[in-house]
Structure 1
Amino acid sequence: MPKKQKKNTRGNIITAAWQLFYEQGYENTTVDEIIVAANTSKGSFYHYFNGKDALLSTLAYLFDEKYEELEETMDSSMDSYEKLLFLNQELFTMIENSISIELLARLLSTQLVTRGEKSLLDRSRLYYRLLSKIIMEGQTAEELRTDISVGEIVKAYAICERAFMYDWCISGGEYSLRSYSQRMLPIFLSDFRKLKSE
């Protein structure tokens, strides 16, 4: 039980912080406001984070919360290819609706310059575990190619998603991230599908 409480406290801080970042901007949000919104103490905040900047890399945590929710509601009748497209569309919808371009750009830039842990590449994240599970199931069901490893397909998919997000940020959101991905990701993923004649 104490471990779950720890996770909830950290999660509450992250959720409150990103909600405030979205509503009033990163620069205009203070640590004190985050503490109040998370209904926690200053001691608890600094136990998990050494300051506001440390929260930038936690966007991956919010993404994983979304994936956890999606895993529970995903239609089990979809094939692996459809599941991958579904996850992408839902994530990119969330990004467009609740994460500002400036915040996403900050996250991507911190990942480029950090010497420590890169949260977007953390293979222990739910994101990577869920993708691996879907792709493994797809290979077993002969929906996806087996001449490319699960790990390589996961890596290619993750690179493609990050590329879409990066381009959307540097383009200043001049197009819909979700709509662009909806058109282009199926073309990218089609190469991983097992041909019917095989």
Structure 2
Amino acid sequence: MSKKTSRNTMGKIVSASWKLFYEQGYEDTTVEDIIKESGTSKGSFYHYFDGKDALLGTLAYLFDEKYEELENEINSDMNAVDILIFLNRQLFEMIESTVDLELIKRLYSTQLLTKNEKQLLDHNRVYYRLLRKIVIAGQDKGEIIKEQSVNDIVKYYAFCERALIYDWCLCNGDYSLSDYSAKLLPFFLKRIEKA
């Protein structure tokens, strides 16, 4: 199986699982439901995952798929800070409309407790590669400060996003994550925007 086919099969399983988790709830979704929704086989499912619980660690993968999709929608004339705000808005709208809040809470709590790989901090993810690309371009165009390193700015941005999601989880989703972020993120990004 080629790498692209393998990634596509895994992606189908991940996307189907999170869709079903949102629609039916995690507890009410079975492996059989996921296999049927993804159009894959039982063998494919168990090739990638030990069971349904293993899918909880794939939320970062789902986010990265969204970032890959959004990268193609970025207007090259946009300011780098505006691109970051656009990406944030789109991702947070996706989270609100397709990811169960309880599963976000579970992901964040497991990331805090795990001694193993922390998917949210994996700098090889599409997320971090895309952010680095945007920040470098923004610095080259004079839109983002150069007094801080690219890695520091990317870390700051990721920190802001995680903080917004964490607070939303603490408040049990009592407000719109994307609307709240639309108010706060521009304020946070003033710190990196070149005057």
Query: 2:44 is matched with which residue?
Result: 44
Query: 2:172 is matched with which residue?
Result: 172
How much does 1:80 deviate? 0.5
Secondary structure at 1:192 match in 2: coil
Query: 2:54 is matched with which residue?
Result: 54
1:158 aligns with 2:166: no
- Separation in structure 1 between the aligned mates of residue 2 and residue 151 of structure 2, nearest angstrom: 34
Query: 2:145 is matched with which residue?
Result: 145
Query: 1:26 is matched with which residue?
Result: 26
Task: Give me the TM-score of the superposition, normalised by structure 1.
Answer: 0.95
How much does 1:47 deviate? 1.2
Query: 1:108 is matched with which residue?
Result: 108
Query: 2:90 is matched with which residue?
Result: 90
How much does 1:160 deviate? 0.7
Query: 1:134 is matched with which residue?
Result: 134
User: Which consecutive residues of structure 1, in runs of 5 or more, have no partner in the other structure?
Assistant: none
Secondary structure at 2:76 match in 1: coil
- Separation in structure 1 between the aligned mates of residue 73 and residue 190 of structure 2, nearest angstrom: 24
- Separation in structure 2 between the aligned mates of residue 88 and residue 15 of structure 1, nearest angstrom: 20
Identical amino acids, percent of aligned pairs: 58
Query: 1:80 is matched with which residue?
Result: 80
How much does 1:2 deviate? 2.0
* Cα deviation 1:9-29 (Å, max 9, x = unaligned): 111110111111011000111
- Separation in structure 1 between the aligned mates of residue 37 and residue 20 of structure 2, nearest angstrom: 8
- Separation in structure 1 between the aligned mates of residue 142 and residue 8 of structure 2, nearest angstrom: 39
Q: Over aligned residues, Cα RMSD in angstroms? A: 1.1
User: Which consecutive residues of structure 2, in runs of 5 or more, have no partner in the other structure?
Assistant: none
Does the CA contact (< 8 Å) of 1:56 and 1:110 recur in 2?
no
Secondary structure at 2:72 match in 1: helix
Task: Give me the TM-score of the superposition, normalised by structure 2.
Answer: 0.96
Q: Report the AA paired with residue 39 of structure 1.
A: G
Query: 1:191 is matched with which residue?
Result: 191
Alignment: residue pair count: 195
Does the CA contact (< 8 Å) of 1:16 and 1:34 recur in 2?
yes
